Amino acid sequence: MSAVYLDCNATAPVRPEAAEAVARALMSAGNPSSVHKAGRGARATLEAARMQVAALVGGSPARTVFTGGGTEANALAVSSAVAAGSRRLLISSCEHDCVRQAAAVSGAAVEVWPVDAEGRADLRWLTDRLNRWDRAADGPPFAALMLANNETGVIQPVHVASGVLHTWGGRLHIDAVQAAGKIPVDMAELGADTLALSAHKLGGPQGVGALIYAAGVPITRASHGGGQEKGLRAGTENVPGAAGFGAGAEAARRGFSKLEAQSEWRDEAARRLVETADVTILGEASKRLPQTLCFAAPGFEAERQLMALDLEDVMVGAGSACSSGKVTPSHVLTAMGLDGLAGSALRVSGGWNTTRADWVRFTDVWLDAWARWKARRAT
């Protein structure tokens, strides 16, 4: 049988439109900073891509900075907030490691913003904490809250959080890496001050991302050299990567309905798992990305599950894929108070080219693996 790839939250397959855009850009010489014809052509490609990426989230092309990926975009948002005077950062306990680590090395104090058992940020905690904020000591409030969690798919109430922060003159950074291209995203509606994106999560190439910022939000350059990206990121721009990102973003903007259809396939798989095996669906009571299923089978180690599935050419994930290939307990599930399940959790995530048959095949193979594991334990 053909391979089944359901690890799109790690990296989605490249869309044909993105691959074609990358190939065209690679065949065209020219540095976008050069004033001759080839340079102007490269500049036109770059700026067209910038418009496509910004349009995906209702952002301004003039305030869209291309980066080397979502990690760099998140780090740029954090460092810019610190440079603007924030000396205490509120970081959601479910944030991606790149946000948590950028905050940890920023030189500012860091407080963990807790979530509930469903993985939703505690807004009452945020309001209470801001009521006690010492602006003289800590500067303007800054908080980071991802729009959709990369492991559970839980969608956060960021529009409410931004309103709370703005009441205190604070800034909200939204990591939209997992959400963009899977659900409609609008910066203005969300109240995002800064927003991070990554191409390879939505069907673009790896190695390119973007930070988009709202009007009046200061961004401080983190790399020095030339004046590229309006002086905010030195170094010759990755024109082929940007072109692929733009084409992928435009295709994603037209394809939300296809991804939304996967919620039915995901829920069908979840029902079969719960009816047959000892499985807990994580974040089930929360609004989630339509193509993401996170579940745990107590005692059935995630690594063992992954190997059993991989032997049948079914590929899924165990937590975040940004840990050098290691299967480690998830800090997201720990933050949700689910330490006992963290070592046995899997993440199944579809993409733009996923079919219902893929979800059915995954479920069939996983249930067979679970039955074998259960039988061995009984002997």
Which residues are identified as catalytic? 322
Other beta carbons within 10 angstroms of residue 38's beta carbon come to 13
Element housing 195 (H / E): strand 194-198
CA distance 266 to 197: 25
Torsion region of 96: left, alpha or beta (phi above 0 gives left; psi -120 to 50 gives alpha): beta
Nearest to 330 by CA among 349, 306, 309, 347: 347
d(CA 232, CA 212): 12
CA distance 15 to 36: 31
Residue 290: partners with Cβ closer than 8 Å, 6 or more residues away: 182, 183, 259, 260, 261, 262, 263, 266
Residue pair 89/111 in contact by the 8 Å Cβ criterion: yes
Do 288 and 120 contact (CB within 8 A), yes or no?
A: no
3-state secondary structure of 323: coil
